[in-house]
Amino acid sequence: DGGITQSPKYLFRKEGQNVTLSCEQNLNHDAMYWYRQDPGQGLRLIYYSQIVNDFQKGDIAEGYSVSREKKESFPLTVTSAQKNPTAFYLCASSIGRLDRAYQPQHFGDGTRLSIL
């Protein structure tokens, strides 16, 4: 079955350390997204990518970085510059292109990041 796989499910970061969250999709979707979820705040967009080798900042990109070297993969790095990284991170994908019928975003099961 097609879907989005996020790994790991739980991740712990030490002070000053960078960590990378994995997101892989086999839905043949062009667009991919990273969201951060905090209690009582809904989901906020970190980065998104509409095509390979291109990505755009979302509302809260500071302290994060991404890459899009393959259509199927959109890893998120939480850098040491992100001072409050404890959150639930969700990856999503969609067809995304304006020349194709819009379809809603599909979500992975998330990665919970905590600070040691």
Partner 1 sequence: AQSVTQPDIHITVSEGASLELRCNYSYGATPYLFWYVQSPGQGLQLLLKYFSGDTLVQGIKGFEAEFKRSQSSFNLRKPSVHWSDAAEYFCAVASGSARQLTFGSGTQLTVLP
Query: Is 116 a residue that touches partner 1 (CB under 8 A)?
Result: no
Residue among 48 and 64 whose Cβ is closer to partner 1 = 48
User: What are 41's two structure tokens?
Assistant: 């705040």
Residue among 30 and 80 whose Cβ is closer to partner 1 = 30
Tell me the residue type at 104. P
Name the nearest CA neighbour of 8 among 115, 109, 116.
109
List the x/- string, 77-106, binding to partner 1 by CB under 8 A: -------------x-x-x-x-x---x-xxx
Task: Outline where DSSP puts E strands in 26-98.
Answer: 31-37, 43-51, 54-57, 64-66, 76-78, 87-94
The whole-angstrom separation of Cα 115 and Cα 9 is 15
Binding residues among 32-61 for partner 1 as defined by CB under 8 A: 33, 35, 40-45, 48, 50, 56, 58
Binding residues vs partner 1 (CB under 8 A):
4, 6, 31, 33, 35, 40-45, 48, 50, 56, 58, 90, 92, 94, 96, 98, 102, 104-110, 112
